[in-house]
Amino acid sequence: MSDHRYQTLGARFVAGIIDSIVALPFFLVLTLVDMPSLVAWLVETLMVLVNLAYFVILHGRDGQTIGKKVMKVRVVGADTETRISYRQSLQRESPLIAINLIYFIVEVVLFASESGREPALLIAVYVAIQRLPNYWWIADAVTALFNPKRRSIHDFIGGTIVVNEGLAS
């Protein structure tokens, strides 16, 4: 028997789109405003940090981003189905934090070299890391498809689950 509290994949997908729309003006600034490369890199780094903080703070505060509020789903503790801690929220985001940290380090090395003759291996790592979030999201979504409570990898890491708000026990 299916428990409707956990049938949240569609709502989570739409919530992600809504959350992306919330961030869109900031990313448009980066692409539309002509900035020196160092300034653009600093703005991009700041935007990544703000984006991660958005999810960690809002999930830790009440389990909902703007998108999740609109879609009436909430992140709760997997065992208790009650409010999660900021620590759990941070743990949920830890894979993306790690990906972004590696990306940041590689960008610093590339930016510092500025010789125009960066090692091919470093360029290959940079390209691979640019694609890593896409692979992460695919693995995360596939994981949610194949377990009864629709938990993604980041839910397992954080000890969380996403439930339909009005149906949480």
State residue 49's pLDDT score.
87
Provide mean pLDDT across the span 11-19: 94
Query: What residues pair up with 76 in beta bridges, in sequence order?
Result: 161
Give me the pLDDT at residue 114, please: 64
In this prediction, residue 101 carries a pLDDT of 87
Strands in the chain per DSSP E: 73-77, 160-164
Rounded Cα–Cα distance for residues 3 and 7 (Å) = 7
| pLDDT tens-digit map of 104-146 | 888 777 777 766 666 777 778 888 888 888 999 999 999 999 9
As a whole number, mean pLDDT of residues 57-78 equals: 96
pTM for this model (two decimals): 0.83
